[in-house]
Amino acid sequence: MMGIVDCNSFYCSCERLFRPDLQAQPVVVLSNNDGCIIARTDEAKSLGIDMGVPFYQCRDLLRTHGVSAFSSNYHLYGDMSMRVMDTLRHLMDDTEGLHERVEVYSVDEAFLDLRHIPADRLVSFAMHLRMVVEEWTGIRVSVGLAPTKLLSKVANKLAKKDKQATNCVMVLDSEDAIREALERTEVGDLWGIGRRYAVRLRDHYGIRTAWQLRQMPEEWARRQLGGVVGVRLIRELQGHSCIALKDPLEKKQMIATTRMFGAPVFDAGALREAVATYTARAAEKLRRQHSAATTVDVFVVTSGGSSGSYVYEPRSDHRYAVLPRPTSVTHELTAFTLPLVEQLYRPGMKYLKAGVILGGLVPDVAIQGNLFMPSEPGRAKGLMDAIDNLNVSMRDDIVKYAASGMTRNWKMRQELRSRRFTTRWAEIYEVH
DNA sequence: TCTGGGGTCCTAGGACCC
DNA sequence: TCTGGGGTCCTAGGACCC
């Protein structure tokens, strides 16, 4: 059996931990730049606040109903996520240590491999997980258990839908239970079926429920649902597990840092500062997983609507470069990303967003030399280590490159952020 | 006025190799 | 009239996820 543990309204739950007065109150959390709603509590959902709605469009509704809104506080959420995942790993501890049983799938979700739990103990084990995680971290979770990853996601979604009846736990351990669950699940709610496929399935094939989809032949899925991806989806629906737990040691294949600007940018200087900053941030992530990049890609998003038009029509453009030799050194990367900015920049354009994507990642231990470049003396590597250590131990960006700029008018807005209670001494929770 | 950020996998098609 | 077979690697683009 497979399982998935999913934190309930995760970002909102994190905010409530330090605001017990909000326990039964509606709460929402906003995306970067305070742009749109990305997390809601059940109370907020029942007020009709949808996922992804722009903040400015529902400001009045929020005020009328006394909904508390927070800017996203990734220090807090990241730290709480680590605590939840550590708890899960502890509870899934495997004395034989043959393989990992927990796959951290996202900041608030983890898949579990439950082959070692006897069938008659699955329900009580799921209850136990839920209880201990809440006791140790204060975060409530929902648990879905089933023969495959996809079916466990189905179970989890149904558990969350009716928390009273299910106690946030659902186990699909019989054909009857699976059939009933799939009949109650809309095809668009399935993991792997997005909006495009959902519409096509409904309009072209009259398929509305997950149960209907399960009856379709594999060859049809191969043609209509993205090749082998579709075939796997059908098999998983039928209860044949074919998406295994992922190895936690796997490294990322690309690393990106992209941001919407706090206010539109018009001049090349500010654009260069932003790209230099994003390059530095991406390079930090690169060094953390001990990789080096062979390609850099810079992209910008401009406001496409002609002047006077109300239509929001962003357009994007990008340029990339192949490095003469893989590197993770910030200034070696900016030496390539900044010239790309010059290539992209057009005076008079209104820039809304920019990003840096590092690709062609290789391990940084055995970087392949280039016949035509002087070999890396190791000094730059030492400098990077020193900067990374200072920035981690002291505070964000105590040391940074001048190219990143000092004014940073383009920085994102975050007007409603709570304190970083668990990761900054100066912001720790106080009891008087 | 104001609409997030960071990833994954897969396929098709072209260049190139022996 | 005739014009191989079997690969790899790369990029662009499309779908999806949270």
pLDDT digits (tens, 9 = 90+) for A325-351: 899 999 999 999 999 999 999 998 999
Of A92 and A389, more confident: A92
Inter-CA distances, A388 with A62, A78, A287, A329, Å: 40, 18, 9, 11
Cα gap A237→A7, rounded to integer Å: 24
Q: State the span(s) of chain A assigned CATH 3.40.1170.60.
A: 3-75
Of A391 and A116, more confident: A116
- Check residues 269 to 288 of chain A and report those whose beta carbon is under 7 Å from nucleic acid strand B: 281, 285
Q: Is the CB of A78 under 7 A from strand C?
A: no
Cα gap A77→A80, rounded to integer Å: 5
| pLDDT for A398 | 73
* A108 nearest nt, CA–C1': C18
CB A231 within 8 A of CB A4: no
Q: Find the Å distance, CA of residue A320 to C1' of nucleotide B12.
A: 22
| pLDDT for A310 | 53
Tokens 């059996």 found at: A1
- Check residues 3 to 42 of chain A and report those whose beta carbon is under 7 Å from nucleic acid strand B: 31-33, 35-36, 38
- Check residues 206 to 235 of chain A and report those whose beta carbon is under 7 Å from nucleic acid strand C: 226
Please tell me which residue lies nearest to nucleotide C11, judged from CA to C1': A320
CB A327 within 8 A of CB A298: no
Q: Find the Å distance, CA of residue A144 to C1' of nucleotide B9.
A: 24
Cα gap A94→A100, rounded to integer Å: 8
Q: Is the CB of A196 under 7 A from strand C?
A: yes
The CATH architecture assigned to A255-404 reads: 2-Layer Sandwich (3.30)
Over residues A310-332, the mean pLDDT reads 85
Neighbours of A105 (CB within 10 A): 16
Q: Is the CB of A195 under 7 A from strand C?
A: yes
Q: Find the Å distance, CA of residue A190 to C1' of nucleotide C8.
A: 36
The CATH architecture assigned to A3-75 reads: 3-Layer(aba) Sandwich (3.40)
Q: Find the Å distance, CA of residue A252 to C1' of nucleotide B14.
A: 27
A269: Cβ–Cβ under 8 A, 6 or more apart, which residues?
Answer: A405
CB A368 within 8 A of CB A325: yes
Tokens 């990339």 found at: A320
Q: Is the CB of A194 under 7 A from strand C?
A: yes
| pLDDT for A401 | 82
Neighbours of A182 (CB within 10 A): 20
Mean pLDDT of the residues in chain A: 90
A339: Cβ–Cβ under 8 A, 6 or more apart, which residues?
Answer: A321
Q: Does A121 score more than 80 pLDDT?
A: yes
Q: Find the Å distance, CA of residue A204 to C1' of nucleotide C15.
A: 18
A8: Cβ–Cβ under 8 A, 6 or more apart, which residues?
Answer: A139, A140, A141, A142, A160, A163, A168
The helix, strand and coil proportions of chain A, stated in percent and rounded to the nearest 5, come to 45, 20, 35
Please tell me which residue lies nearest to nucleotide C18, judged from CA to C1': A106
CB A128 within 8 A of CB A91: yes
Nucleotides of C under 7 A from a protein CB: 11-12, 14-18
| pLDDT for A388 | 78
* A33 nearest nt, CA–C1': B4
Q: Is the CB of A32 under 7 A from strand C?
A: no
Neighbours of A416 (CB within 10 A): 15
Q: Is the CB of A227 under 7 A from strand B?
A: yes
Inter-CA distances, A165 with A43, A158, A253, A275, A304, Å: 18, 10, 42, 50, 49
Q: State the span(s) of chain A assigned CATH 3.30.1490.100.
A: 255-404
Q: Over the stretch A129-182, which tens digit does the pLDDT of each residue have?
A: 999 999 999 999 999 999 999 999 999 999 999 999 999 999 999 999 999 999
Q: Find the Å distance, CA of residue A252 to C1' of nucleotide B7.
A: 9
Comparing A98-102, A119-123, A197-201, A247-251, which segment has the lowest mean pLDDT? Answer: A98-102
Share of chain A above pLDDT 90, in %: 72
A22: Cβ–Cβ under 8 A, 6 or more apart, which residues?
Answer: A15, A16, A68
Q: Over the stretch A167-219, which tens digit does the pLDDT of each residue have?
A: 999 999 999 999 999 999 999 999 999 999 999 999 999 999 999 999 999 99
Tokens 């309009």 found at: A203
Q: Find the Å distance, CA of residue A118 to C1' of nucleotide B5.
A: 40
Q: Find the Å distance, CA of residue A216 to C1' of nucleotide B13.
A: 30
